[in-house]
């Protein structure tokens, strides 16, 4: 009797469970439904970057002495050839004047040696002087010529040293902080430069990509040089979060892979007419990627289960779960579907995590049922 009662109770529980499952399966709900179709998307990927001036030059003196004038302020925009510093010129002016005088003396000695040789040649014709006197006069002429050449070289050196007391900018750019003041004693061997000038009319922005990403670019464009030529313009997100007004272009890719990072270094060039970007700054290079004829769905249409991404297809008015694979790169609100859905499939477009398998779905009134192509106006 007890066994029969137990079997009857078990059967009753099973029947009740089945009835509950049927009720759950037959539950109705109103959800937004969309019909998948092909569209185009532009995805953007950001890479941390550092900013360098196109050319950065440390300005150092070529001669030693005391600074007597500083003609720029820190942060000034300077032109190539502009006078920046003056080093005490007194000793160098004196040395140059002495060198000029030595040249004049050597020129006079050379003229005298020429006259002596010509005179001895005439006297030799009248047997007044010997052949030895002629040879001696010729040697004195050569010595005078050598002395003049030496004096001229010393004058050039003294003139250069005098010109080096005026320190000029070798490039267009912006001056850094100046660690020296009037009266500071400097030389060509100083550890810290007088100033650093950064040519930032254009800036180089350096960033890195994973090896596989660069390989994908090479496969897409046919070659590394082809990728550099054909890649779209890139944007720069500055450290304050704003997008820089001018777009840049990738102009160089490293031929080697970093031993420690496994990444490839790239360089983008950006115009900098307003000098907004500075040497040593940081930002994020944003590279667009165009995807054509793809199925795009809202991320809200998906849910995850054990590292799988699923959606609910609406088949004959009933919610049916479907696993999909999506592209790693996304815009934060949508997924590009690589497999699992076909054009024309109906899916629940929002709140998929709240839906249960087998739910009877009624499309919400007024819902748009097609994806938009964001690249079409």
Of 291, 322, 348, the last residue of a domain is 291
Q: Looking at the structure, do residues 260 and 157 belong to the same domain, yes or no?
A: no
Q: Looking at the structure, do residues 209 and 253 belong to the same domain, yes or no?
A: yes
User: In sequence order, what are the residues at sequence separation of 6 or more whose Cβ sits closer than 8 angstroms to the Cβ of residue 180?
Assistant: 67, 70, 85, 186, 194
What does each of the 377 residues of the chain score in pLDDT, given as a tens digit? 444 544 444 444 344 444 444 444 456 778 899 999 998 888 888 899 999 988 889 999 999 999 999 999 998 989 999 999 999 999 999 999 999 999 999 999 999 999 988 888 888 787 777 888 888 989 999 999 999 999 999 999 999 999 999 999 999 888 999 999 999 999 999 999 999 998 888 999 999 988 888 888 888 788 888 888 888 899 999 999 999 999 999 998 887 887 777 888 999 999 998 888 888 899 999 988 888 889 999 999 999 988 899 999 999 989 999 999 998 777 778 899 999 999 999 999 998 888 888 889 887 754 544 444 455 44
Examine residue 94 and state whether it is found in any structural domain, yes or no. yes
Examine residue 234 and state whether it is found in any structural domain, yes or no. yes
Examine residue 228 and state whether it is found in any structural domain, yes or no. yes
Q: Looking at the structure, do residues 240 and 119 belong to the same domain, yes or no?
A: no
Quote the domain boundaries for residue 231. 45-54+200-291
User: In sequence order, what are the residues at sequence separation of 6 or more whose Cβ sits closer than 8 angstroms to the Cβ of residue 49?
Assistant: 205, 206, 207, 236, 268, 282, 283, 284, 285
Q: Looking at the structure, do residues 211 and 235 belong to the same domain, yes or no?
A: yes
Q: Looking at the structure, do residues 68 and 139 belong to the same domain, yes or no?
A: no
Examine residue 251 and state whether it is found in any structural domain, yes or no. yes
Say what the pLDDT of residue 365 is: 52
Say what the pLDDT of residue 19 is: 45
Q: Looking at the structure, do residues 179 and 77 belong to the same domain, yes or no?
A: yes
Say what the pLDDT of residue 87 is: 97
HEC letters along the chain: CHHHHHHHHHHHHHHHHHHHHHHHHCCEEEECEEECCEEEEEEEEEEEEEEEEEEEEEECCCCCEEEEEECCCCCCEECCCCEEEEECCHHHHHHHHHHHHHHHHHHHHHHHHHHHHHHHHHHHHCCCCCHHHHHHHHHHHHHHHHHHHHHHHHHHHHHHHHHHCEEECCCCEEECCCCCCCCCEECCCCCCCCEEEEEEEEEEEEEEEEHHHHHHHHHHHCCHHHHHHHCCCEEEEECCCCECCCCEEEEEECCCCCCCCCEEEEEEEEECCCCCCCCCCEEEEEEEEEEEEEEEEEHHHEEEECCEEEEEEEECCEEEEEEEEECCCCCCCEEEEEECCCCCCEEECCCHHHCCCCCEEEECCCCCCECCCCCCC
Of 235, 268, 291, the last residue of a domain is 291
What CATH number does the domain containing 243 carry?
Answer: 2.40.30.170
Q: Looking at the structure, do residues 188 and 65 belong to the same domain, yes or no?
A: yes
Of 291, 309, 338, the last residue of a domain is 291
What CATH number does the domain containing 129 carry?
Answer: 1.10.287
């Amino acid at each position: 009797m007890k066994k029969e009662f137990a079997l009857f109770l078990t059967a009753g529980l099973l029947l009740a469970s089945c009835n509950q499952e049927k009720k759950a399966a037959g539950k109705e709900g109103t959800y937004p439904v969309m019909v998948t179709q092909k569209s185009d998307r532009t995805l953007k990927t950001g890479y941390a970057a550092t900013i360098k001036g196109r050319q950065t030059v440390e300005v150092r003196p070529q001669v030693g002495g005391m600074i007597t004038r500083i003609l720029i302020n820190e942060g000034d925009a300077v032109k190539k050839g502009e006078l920046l510093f003056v080093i005490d010129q007194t000793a160098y002016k004196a040395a140059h004047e002495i060198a000029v005088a030595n040249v004049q003396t050597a020129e006079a000695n050379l003229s005298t040696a020429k006259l002596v040789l010509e005179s001895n040649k005439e006297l030799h014709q009248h047997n007044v002087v010997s052949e030895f006197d002629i040879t001696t006069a010729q040697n004195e002429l050569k010595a005078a010529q050598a002395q003049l050449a030496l004096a001229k070289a010393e004058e050039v050196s003294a003139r250069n040293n005098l010109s080096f007391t005026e320190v000029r900018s070798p490039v267009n750019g912006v001056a850094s902080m100046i660690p020296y003041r009037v009266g500071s004693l400097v030389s060509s061997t100083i550890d810290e430069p007088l100033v650093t000038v950064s040519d930032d009319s254009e800036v180089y922005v350096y960033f890195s990509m994973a090896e596989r990403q660069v390989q994908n670019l090479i496969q897409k464009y046919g070659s590394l040089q082809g990728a550099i030529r054909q890649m779209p313009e890139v944007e720069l997100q500055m450290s304050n979060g704003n997008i820089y007004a001018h777009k840049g272009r990738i102009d160089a890719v490293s031929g080697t892979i970093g031993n420690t990072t496994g990444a490839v270094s790239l360089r983008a060039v950006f115009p900098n007419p307003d000098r907004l970007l500075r040497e040593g700054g940081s930002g994020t290079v944003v590279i667009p990627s165009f995807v054509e004829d793809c199925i795009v769905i809202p991320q809200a249409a998906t849910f995850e289960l054990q590292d799988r991404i699923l959606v609910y297809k609406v088949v004959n008015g009933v919610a049916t779960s479907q696993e999909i694979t999506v592209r790693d790169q996304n815009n934060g609100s949508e997924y590009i579907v690589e497999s699992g859905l076909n054009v024309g499939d109906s899916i629940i477009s929002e709140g998929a995590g709240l839906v249960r398998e087998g739910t009877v779905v009624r499309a919400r009134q007024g819902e748009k049922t097609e994806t938009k192509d964001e690249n079409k106006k």
